[in-house]
Amino acid sequence: MDFDLPAEITDYLAELDAFIEAEIVPLQAQDDNERFFDHRREWARTDYDNGGLPRHEWEELLGVAKARADKAGHLRFALPKEFGGKDGSNLAMAVIREHFAAKGLGLHNDLQNEHSIVANYPQVLMFRDFGSQEQKDEFIGGMLDGSRSICFGLTEPEHGSDATHMETVGLRETRDGVSGWLINGEKMWTTGMHVATHVMVFGRTQGKAGDAKGITCFIVPAEAEGVKVEEYLWTFNMPTDHPRVSFTNVWVPDCNVFGPADAGLELA
C-alpha cells in the first residue's frame, strides 16, 4: 500500500502556503488583528454586552479573509467545478486541514468557529442532491454569494444524540388555500442563528418517538412569525453563537419541505 501523497496535493499545499504568506498573514498583522488570536482572543472576539455573541469586527475580519480566498480560487476547492470549485477530494481536504492545523491558530484556519480559507460546503451538496429546483436556484447561489445563510436545528433541550426522539412536530395545515405545515418545538445549538436567513428544522410528521422514518426537514425563514431565540448558550470557548430557539405555531408551505417528507433524518 502506497501512503505517499499524490503530487497534485503536495503541489497545492505549496500554492496555499504562498497565498497565506502573501494575503492572509499581512491581513492578520494589520490593525492589531492579532488580538483575535493571541492571549486576548476571548475578549476580542466576544461581545459580552450583547449576549456573548461574536463581535462584528471579528466576523467582518473572517469575511475579508474568505473573500480573498474565494477571489484566489481556494475557498470553494472542495466543491464541484459547476459551483466554482476544483472537485477537491476528501483525501485532499483531510490533508489540507491537517496541514493548516500544524501551522497553529491563525486567520488561515480556526476551527473554533469552522473558519478556513478552504471551506466546507456540505449544504451546497445537500441542496444539489435533495433540493427542489426552486430551492436549488435560491439557496446554492445564495450560500455562495453570502445572501443566504442556513443554520441547522436538530438537537433538542430534552433529547441528545438520539435524534429519533424529538418533541418538535409538524402538522399539516392549509392556509388561504395553500397546503403547508404548522411547526411547534424547540432546538438547541442552532449555530449561526444570529446571522442566519433560514434554519433547517427537523420535526416529527408521523410515526412515534424512536422511529427513524416520519421525520421531515423544513426550511424556515429565520424571521418567520413564531421563531424566537430564547437564549445564547455560553460555553467554555467564547464567543457563542449557539442558541436555543423556539418555534411556536410557525407555518410554512409545502415548498419549504426539504427532501422527501418523512425521510428528513437521512438528510441530517
pLDDT, tens digit (0-9, with 9 covering 90-100), for 237-258: 789 999 999 999 999 999 999 9
Question: Which cell goes with 218?
Answer: 423544513
Question: Which cell goes with 28?
Answer: 492578520
Instruction: Tell me which CATH code domain 7-120 carries.
Output: 1.10.540
Three-state DSSP at 103 gives coil
Q: Do domains 7-120 and 150-267 have the same CATH topology?
A: no
Count, residues in the chain: 268
pLDDT at 2: 82
Question: Which cell goes with 167?
Answer: 418533541
Assigned fold of 150-267 = Butyryl-CoA Dehydrogenase, subunit A; domain 2 (2.40.110)
pLDDT at 110: 93
Reported as half-sphere exposure (CB side, CA atoms, 13 A), residue 7 has a value of 0
Q: Bridge-partner residues for 251, per DSSP?
A: 182
Helices (H) and strands (E) in the chain, counts: 8, 12
- Contact call for residues 49 and 55 (beta carbons, < 8 A): no
Distance between CA 147 and CA 182 in Å, rounded? 26
Three-state DSSP at 89 gives coil
Q: Give residue limits of the domains in the chain.
A: 7-120, 150-267
Q: Is 8 exposed, middle or buried (0-12, 13-18, 19+ CB in 10 A)?
A: exposed
Nearest to 13 by CA among 70, 127, 89, 96: 96
Residue type, 207: G
pLDDT digits (tens, 9 = 90+) for 28-84: 999 999 999 999 999 999 999 998 999 999 999 999 999 999 999 999 999 999 999
pLDDT at 140: 97
Nearest to 185 by CA among 243, 226, 152, 150: 226
Distance between CA 109 and CA 119 in Å, rounded? 9
Query: How many percent of the chain have pLDDT more than 70?
Result: 100
Sign, CA dihedral 185-190-194-197, equals negative
pLDDT at 144: 95
User: pLDDT below 70 — which residues of the chain?
Assistant: none
